[in-house]
Copies of this chain bind each other. A is one copy, B any other.
Amino acid sequence: MSKLTDVPKRILIGRALRSDRLGETLLPKRIALPVFASDPLSSVAYAPGEVLLVLSIAGVSAYHFSPWIAVAVVVLMFTVVASYRQNVHAYPSGGGDYEVANTNLGPKAGLTVASALLVDYVLTVAVSISSGVENLGSAVPFFVEHKVLCAIGIIVLLTLMNLRGVRESGKLFAIPTYVFVVGVFLMIAWGAYRGLVLDDTMRAPTADLEIKPEHQGLAGFALVFLLLRAFSSGCAALTGVEAISNGVPAFRKPKSRNAATTLALMGFLAVTMFCGIIGLAMATKVRMAENPAVDLVRDGTPVGDSYVQNPVISQVAAAVFGDGTFFFVVLAAATALVLFLAANTAYNGFPLLGSILAQDRYLPRQLHTRGDRLAFSNGIVLLAGAAVLLVWIYGADSTRLIQLYIVGVFVSFTLSQTGMVRHWNRHLRTEKDPAKRRHMVRSRAINTFGAFFTGLVLIVVLITKFTHGAWVALLGMVIFYATMTAIRKHYDRVAAEIAAPDGPSDDVVRPSRVHSVVLISRIHRPTLRALAYAKLMRSHTLEALSVNVDPTETKALQEEWTRRGIDVPLKVLDSPYREVTRPVIEYVKGLRKESPRDAVSVIIPEYVVGHWYEHLLHNQSALRLKGRLLFTPGVMVTSVPYQLESSEVAKRRARKRQDWSAPGSVRRGPAHDRTKESSKNSAKESSDSKESSGSKG
């Protein structure tokens, strides 16, 4: 039979890829790098600036701490990359931080990680778009002049693209990302050449400005606090590193190894670019201030409110390439584009995480099935709405938004690494092979250091940024956590309520007969079809039912019924108030009362139309009635559709919708592959997880 239906299916659906052909969509490393790295790489567009900005509070002299902060960020980056290389090998199913925390630390930790990641997706959109607009603005001032409007406009655009279901293409990511990376490296190389070899003096546009320190001569605890705050801001460079650990199934084989290599490459690129930009910024004397209007001073007077503080990367580019030159404009455009792609990452990551959470019943079940456009749409609109709100409240100011960022990332880093330590502990308990044991011990050491270091950073971030905005992110996490807990509780309660009793199914009270009722308003093709179908069903009794809303019409109906010799008895219900629903419900209840062991089947002829406004003109009473009948026990409700000509429109629309591809499908990898590995993995882990849940619960 499946042979028979294959041809029309192929014609109708077009590109229903067969499972074995899915391999072709797997990502080679050269494409995987831009797909997964646009988020962490793009953060070098704002992270160096944030470091300088915080340091400027103690005056320009504090800038000499910046290399040390860069070193700290580099060490942290290497730690995190090394740690996640362990994750990627241990969890090739792509469950990511959520799965690691959930499996090893129990569901509460998993849910905490999930909440943190969800908040982070919102912030990734808000921060990246705001920063992208600022970078565009360094080349085209229009964008900074209408910052909030532009930022919200771009969010709306991205949202519409993702709602429409743009097929995420690896190449789309590759070109701007590579242009950006090559551009930054070119800038660093050219800057180093000019500075060190040609001995040019390159001066950033802000080099002539002086910084009025907000706190002169900070020392001791205050200075340490300031340095820690600068470090926290620099940690923005680490956001998005965890993305690869979610995307292992999308890599070509050997998946884990390729993913680990890509991760290392990404870490190397990110730290080089970060340090290069900081170095160039020092060399070209870039001046940044937290409140540029008052704290930046030109010839003795503050620059004032009209001053626009351009991002470090564009100031450095202006110094190295020259302001407004071809390279300067290309780099600004590539930077902005990469930042927008980074924002798009969140649009892809959200449904991915949502689908995993849905599988664990923390989110509505339908998020788990792919291509469920409606479910994804709701998620995307929620994400975009929250991002727009943040952008609007914070005036699309990336500096202020970054204060909220990072908390989520480090919550998830810390819990994930802690989970990995537990993971290795468990495996070490059973593993006998010395070579494998040695490997595990090494991995555990890396993850332990990772957990410790990221935990430390989390504490630093919380302390230095709590009042600056981190509390907003925490509040967001609490809201997500509470919502998901409530959803899970609801599903559990319902599951308990509907659980099938043990033993053969017949102990469910089973009705003995069916009484069928066909609802008739007048005689036309839809009702005749419903009658024909009802007769076919061979229920124990069958009658037609009409509600007397208009005596003239009812009389005409009865006459036509007789004239046509329809061999089903027609019963007419009186309705003094011209209602339809109530008399039918009462009648059905009466039937049930009469013979409680019987079931009632209500058959409703329905028109199928093509346009929403046509829908308003038909079926409204039927819909209402169906809604009410569902609450009546012992009733089943059957719709017999009659397709009007206009329904073709809706059919075509539905077909088009079906071909919609969910955002994030490229990085998610093929579905079957994923589930297979996941189930394999979960089978392997099953004894462990039982044990761990035992120790947790």
Chain A residues proximal to chain B, CB less than 8 Å: 1-2, 4-5, 8-9, 13, 17-19, 22, 359, 364-366, 368-372, 374-375, 487, 490-491, 494-495, 497-501, 503-505, 508, 510-514, 523-529, 531-533, 536-539, 549-552, 564-566, 574, 576-582, 586, 589-590, 593-594, 599, 601, 603, 606-608, 614, 616-618, 620-621, 624, 626-631, 633, 635-645, 647, 650-651, 654, 658, 670-672, 675-676, 679, 682
Contacts and interface: CB of A to CB of B under 8 A. Distances in A.
Number of copies: 2
A430 to B, nearest CB: 23
A615 to B, nearest CB: 10
Contacts of A4: 590, 593-594
Contact of A504 (B371, B503, B565): B565
A374 B651 CA distance: 27
B549 A620 contact: no
B511 A498 contact: no
A560 to B, nearest CB: 8
Contact of A371 (B494, B512, B552, B579): B579
Nearest to A531: B505
A371 to B, nearest CB: 5
A173 B115 CA distance: 57
Contact of A525 (B365, B498, B552): B498
Given A375-B620, A494-B644, A370 B579 contact: yes
Contacts of A19: 574, 576
Given A18-B576, A365-B617, A371-B579, 6 more contacts: A494-B607, A505-B532, A538-B539, A576-B672, A631-B650, A636-B638
Nearest to A486: B613
30 contacts: A1-B594, A4-B590, A5-B586, A365-B618, A368-B550, A369-B549, A369-B578, A370-B579, A371-B577, A371-B578, A372-B620, A375-B620, A498-B642, A500-B528, A501-B525, A508-B528, A514-B533, A514-B537, A533-B599, A537-B538, A552-B675, A552-B682, A581-B658, A582-B658, A626-B639, A635-B641, A636-B639, A636-B640, A637-B641, A638-B639
A4 B629 CA distance: 20
B533 A511 contact: yes
A630 B606 contact: yes
Contacts of A616: 364
A607 to B, nearest CB: 7
A216 to B, nearest CB: 53
Nearest to A683: B552
Closest 9 CB pairs of A and B: A5-B590, A630-B641, A638-B638, A370-B578, A498-B524, A366-B620, A19-B576, A498-B525, A510-B532
A269 to B, nearest CB: 34
Given A497-B645, A531-B505, A630-B606, A671 B576 contact: yes
A365 B621 contact: yes
Nearest to A614: B490
A531, A538, A576, A626: residue with the most chain B Cβ atoms closer than 10 Å? A576
A2 B590 contact: yes
Contact of A601 (B508, B537, B637): B537
B5 A533 contact: no
Given A18-B576, A511-B532, A631-B650, A525 B499 contact: yes
Contact of A643 (B2, B525, B580, B633): B633
Contacts of A636: 533, 603, 638-641
A601 B366 CA distance: 24
